[in-house]
Structure 1
Amino acid sequence: MAEDMSPLFRAIVDKVAPPEVNAEGSLQLQISALDYNSYVGVIGVGRITRGVLTPNTAVTIVDRDGDQRTGKVLQVMGYLGLERVEADRAEAGDIVCVTGIDALNISDTLCDPAHPEALPALSVDEPR
């Protein structure tokens, strides 16, 4: 048995495929979890599937019904271990937290206003 977790990490690197992302395309980020902070309000958590996100970026929010509205991402935070850290830039493949958008819901897609293309809505399996 190994003294550390190196074999596990090596297996993950060797066997787990990287996420399918497009760093060159227009922004597309789907909200998969929500948090709340009394200072900043609603915090949306999701993975960027396409493009780049920076603080103070104007976005179009497309909900699960296809309805669109505009908003502005005020703050972008990434993760360093389990701790959230402010980021000046996040790109496709990154899991980020965003603030500044009220009435955010799970499955909402944050898009480049010039290309408001929603990702398929997330679904939750019914209990068995």
Structure 2
Amino acid sequence: VIQTGPTSYSLVLACDVNTRGHTQWFLFRVANAQAGIAYRLSIVNMMKPDSLFAKGMRPLLYSEAQAARKRAGWRRCGEHICYFANQYSYAAPLKRKGSKGNKGNKGGGDGVTNDASNLQPFYT
């Protein structure tokens, strides 16, 4: 997680460990939200040529606070969602001889920070 402005953050996702380097889905936690403030989160390494987000799909949000107060569950959220190419490129990890994928790869060592303490809620 990289803070790029007062209320904006860039997030680099780790690859799904059961694929050859694909990033198809994401799950993360946000803490210390301030009500009434719009936040922006940019997931910078989603690299498929197209996405359902570009066609109007919105991410799901689960709020523990709303669940406790209103018995609310998962809901669609976000505004001004867009999906487009950026300066990042994709290179599939090399498959070792005799390997059946990356099931033993537990991540780490890729420079991705897993500390969500600075990440704030956002609406994209």
TM-score (normalised: structure 2): 0.28
Return the structure number with greater strand share: 1
Higher relative contact order (CA 8 A, sep 6+): 2
